[in-house]
Structure 1
Amino acid sequence: MPTSDTVRQRDRAVDVARLAALVVVMFGHCALLLATIDSGGVRIGNLLGAVPALAPVTWVVQVMPLFFLAGGAAGAYGSRSGTPWGTWLFTRAQRLCRPVFWYLAVWVTALLLVRLLLGVQSADALGRESVALLWFLGVYLIALALVPSLTHLRTGRTFAVVVIALLAAAWAVDRIRFAVGTPESGIANFLLIWSIPVVIGVAYARRLISPRSALLVAVAALAAQCALVVTGAYEVALVVTGAEHVSNVSPPTLLLGLHCTWMSCAFVAVAAPIRRWADRPRVWRIVASGNAGAMTLYLWHIPAIAVAAFSLHAVGLDAYDVEASDFWAMLALRAVVFAGVMAALFRLLSPLEHRRLPWWDDRVAATGARSAVTGALVCAAGVALALMAKQGLAGTAGWVALGGFLTAAVAARIWAGSAVAGAPASASVASR
């Protein structure tokens, strides 16, 4: 077992993984979007739906497992013996939710203006897209709740049993989903699948999985993933394409679970050289800067893509028709414009991630039953956030989910209490 000093030390390889995954997600979404405006209005498509042959590429660019692994590892590094579970979880939610509050405030205001100026249908169409990416934070908050318990596991073999059990449970849920024929019957896999990289992240932080073992597991999981596709029971694409019959991600399937396993273990296998590379001052400055505004990059990259796409449309430079001779050049041009727009938004909005909110960011003081209730309310906020992402800010269900998220978050803050009025949040979030 590592010493407490080692556990609390920042792991630069984890920061590299988080930022690299974020860059892939941003530019991946930029590439996937097909958009134009004609006499029929706004037309939106998906590159993978238009060119299905590209589906195998998603096995490389589906990097969400690295976000969850980073959360598990950072949570394990920041864990302190004796800290109540709910208190620990809420201190992490403080930092994670702060930029989300700003994001939601902007979108609620914008949607109300759109409703007044353009009507209910336009507002609902925009509202369905504006919060879709918040599914990640909702599931992430719930998965993080498992970290304190996972830190009590003492052997790599125990962690392996947990991962195998999660994969087996995911397979059972898939059987139910395929038999019933509705995506809702597979909803349990949101937690089962996305917990896998969290578990591996904790094992990595506790140094309970060696690079050699991780490499062997990665190869075995990748081989199993390939074999599963060959059976024809699962589709190839690991992202939403709009043309799939059975999605691998909404809700997740065993195929995505195996993907989470091999990608997480592949990171563990190469973490040491990544860490040495990140020790270079110039590299670390970039990585540290990006991680300091990671939530800004994640939350605002879709609006930045929209600005880039429709600005180019205004001058007749659409990337929409995949059969056009200049399509790939237009897609590359959009990526360049998007990078510029995102850089401007990052500079403008990333300071909000570090601007303390009165009361919300006070130091947490809950213990005992109050801490347990606080943790449960954070999990409830995560569920509401995931539901809001699914429904969008359109119709009664979406707005009720938004109210549920805000209510649960405020209730968690009340139950968490305040050790010292106006004091900064607990230092346990420093390694986030």
Structure 2
Amino acid sequence: MPRLLPDFHAVIDGTAPDRDRSIDVARLSALLVVMFGHCALLLATITSDGVQIGNTLGAVPSLQPATWVLQVMPLFFFAGAAAGVYSWQDGTPWGTWLFTRAQRLCRPALWYLGAWTVALIAVRFTMGAESAAALGNEAVALLWFLGTYLIVLAFVPALARLRSGRSVTLVVMGLMAAAALGDWARISTHTMEAGAANLLVAWLIPMVIGAAYAHRFIAPGTALAVAAGTLAVQVLLAEFGPYDVSLVVTGTERMSNVTPPTLLLALQCIWMSSLFIACAGAVRRWAERPRIWYLIVVGNSGAMTLYLWHIAAIAIATFGLHAVGLDAYDPAAPYFWRNIAIRALVFAVVMTVMFLLLSPLEHNPLRWWDARVRASGRASTVAGVLVCVAGVALLLMAKNGLGTGAGWMLLALFIGALAGARLSAGRPPARCEEAERNPASGLSAR
């Protein structure tokens, strides 16, 4: 019978002595905050009019300042850039490197989208197109992160070539100026689309800082000073600027700080990433404890499973508790916070079961998709560009939903771009093709 979890001693003994464990902690900690944050923020019940959905932050605006702690997405991008710089080797073709990262990231997403495609087709024929579209909107909303991440990963090879803290400072300052310009365009035109470039600009900021951390350009003391100064600026901007306080979606925003990101969120990226650098040494030492490290490794081994399926697990917990009279829908109702706590416990159990069942899909290679990557030159570049196209398609799908005509077209574009990238990434260099056609010439070339 296959093991559901890896062997404890194999994990401990198999960890490289020079591994930066703080990066693994950053990724998993941020993921847990996102998961349980969503669990606490969802207001849901079923009435005679159907399913009613709300948001705790929209219902209780006084809680919105808490999002300055709960908005931990910068740590995902920070950790991704640091891990990418650690894995980068000079001379590796850009597109080949990017596609190898996409193989691991997209494998569980392909399973996820396949499952939802079957589910939405069933809903379409049993409950109608409107229900399928509504469910499709919720099913793919969180895929904005994977789409954005695939795009910003394309910049890691360039970030790996940064050579000084001064260059990092100049890049971050340029990105901050671009974010401010995007906000100005958005405010002056009263359209979100005018600030769409900030989806790339803002999330590149923690990527740059993550690369600087991997290069050891920022000392802990300096990072702490930067975090404190940036946080002070952010507080002043929230108090006197045109921005809402909340750094996550509430459903009641005047000007969302998330869709697209604003300068306020860009400042969050700087101080949160810098604060982590200041604490990284202590985090690394804490993660060296064998039992702690084992849990961190196990959690990270199924990180995409946790991210993709946690909303479904929250829904199961929420509506299961509704069936036994433990709704958490009205914050003013008696026992609301007790019911939220119960929901969190049930969610943890449901998510654990789903993790054990579904996380193997992250590790079991798909025969064609996970074939060896060996492209260079133009073929490698084409593969990298198509990975970025797939990321854009995923972003648009997250915005438009799945279950509509536009959603299905974007899904087809996503799959088609990945398939094209796979075909291009599998092409051997011209010399290898010649050697394969004529083995003697390959031998004589040695």
For 2:232 and 2:241, locate their aligned partners in 1 and report how far apart those are by CA, in whole Å.
Answer: 15
- Which consecutive segments of 4 or more residues in structure 1 shift more than 6 A? none
Equivalences for 1:241-252 in 2 at 5 Å?
241-252=250-261
On the 8 A contact 2:120/2:403 being kept in 1, the answer is no
Match of 1:75 in 2: 84
**Does 1:396 find its partner at 2:405?**
yes
Deviation at 1:340, TM superposition (A): 0.5
- 1:68-107 deviations in whole A, cap 9, x for unaligned? 0010000000001110000000000000000000000000
Deviation at 1:418, TM superposition (A): 5.4
Match for residue 190 of structure 1 among 194, 199, 202 = 199
Equivalences for 1:172-211 in 2 at 5 Å?
172-211=181-220
Q: What amino acid maps onto 2:50 in structure 1?
A: G
- 1:255-298 deviations in whole A, cap 9, x for unaligned? 00000000001001100110011011011000000000000000
Partner SS state of residue 418, structure 2: helix
Q: What amino acid maps onto 1:247 in structure 2?
A: S
Match of 1:288 in 2: 297
- 1:153-211 deviations in whole A, cap 9, x for unaligned? 10011101101110110000100000010111111000000000011111101111111
**Does 1:405 find its partner at 2:417?**
no
TM-score, normalised relative to structure 1: 0.94
- 1:204-238 deviations in whole A, cap 9, x for unaligned? 01111111111111111101100101114111000
Q: What amino acid maps onto 1:411 in structure 2?
A: G
Match of 2:72 in 1: 63
**Does 1:42 find its partner at 2:54?**
no
For 1:314 and 1:124, locate their aligned partners in 2 and report how far apart those are by CA, in whole Å.
Answer: 25
Match of 1:96 in 2: 105
Equivalences for 1:4-403 in 2 at 5 Å?
9-403=18-412
Partner SS state of residue 332, structure 2: coil
For 2:338 and 2:295, locate their aligned partners in 1 and report how far apart those are by CA, in whole Å.
Answer: 28
Partner SS state of residue 131, structure 1: helix
For 2:36 and 2:242, locate their aligned partners in 1 and report how far apart those are by CA, in whole Å.
Answer: 30
Deviation at 1:10, TM superposition (A): 2.5
Q: Greater shift after overlay, 339-348 or 206-215?
A: 206-215
- 1:43-84 deviations in whole A, cap 9, x for unaligned? 000000000000000000000000000100000000011100
Match of 1:426 in 2: none
On the 8 A contact 1:133/1:299 being kept in 2, the answer is yes
For 1:269 and 1:163, locate their aligned partners in 2 and report how far apart those are by CA, in whole Å.
Answer: 18
Q: What amino acid maps onto 1:191 in structure 2?
A: L
| Distance change >3 Å, CA 303–CA 165, structure 1 → 2 | same
Which has the greater radius of gyration? Answer: 2
Partner SS state of residue 175, structure 2: helix
Match of 1:425 in 2: none
Gaps of 5+ in 1: 1-6, 421-432
Counting matched residue pairs gives: 414
For 1:117 and 1:396, locate their aligned partners in 2 and report how far apart those are by CA, in whole Å.
Answer: 18
Gaps of 5+ in 2: 1-15, 433-446
TM-score, normalised relative to structure 2: 0.92
Q: What amino acid maps onto 2:120 in structure 1?
A: L
Cα RMSD, aligned residues only: 1.2
On the 8 A contact 1:135/1:385 being kept in 2, the answer is yes
Match of 2:13 in 1: none
Q: Percent identity?
A: 62
Partner SS state of residue 44, structure 2: strand
For 1:352 and 1:197, locate their aligned partners in 2 and report how far apart those are by CA, in whole Å.
Answer: 29
Match of 2:444 in 1: none
Partner SS state of residue 45, structure 2: strand
Q: What amino acid maps onto 2:291 in structure 1?
A: R
- 1:383-422 deviations in whole A, cap 9, x for unaligned? 00000011110322211111111010000000101569xx
Q: What amino acid maps onto 1:289 in structure 2?
A: V
On the 8 A contact 1:363/1:418 being kept in 2, the answer is no
Q: What amino acid maps onto 1:326 in structure 2?
A: Y
For 2:376 and 2:164, locate their aligned partners in 1 and report how far apart those are by CA, in whole Å.
Answer: 29
For 1:10 and 1:104, locate their aligned partners in 2 and report how far apart those are by CA, in whole Å.
Answer: 33
Deviation at 1:8, TM superposition (A): 11
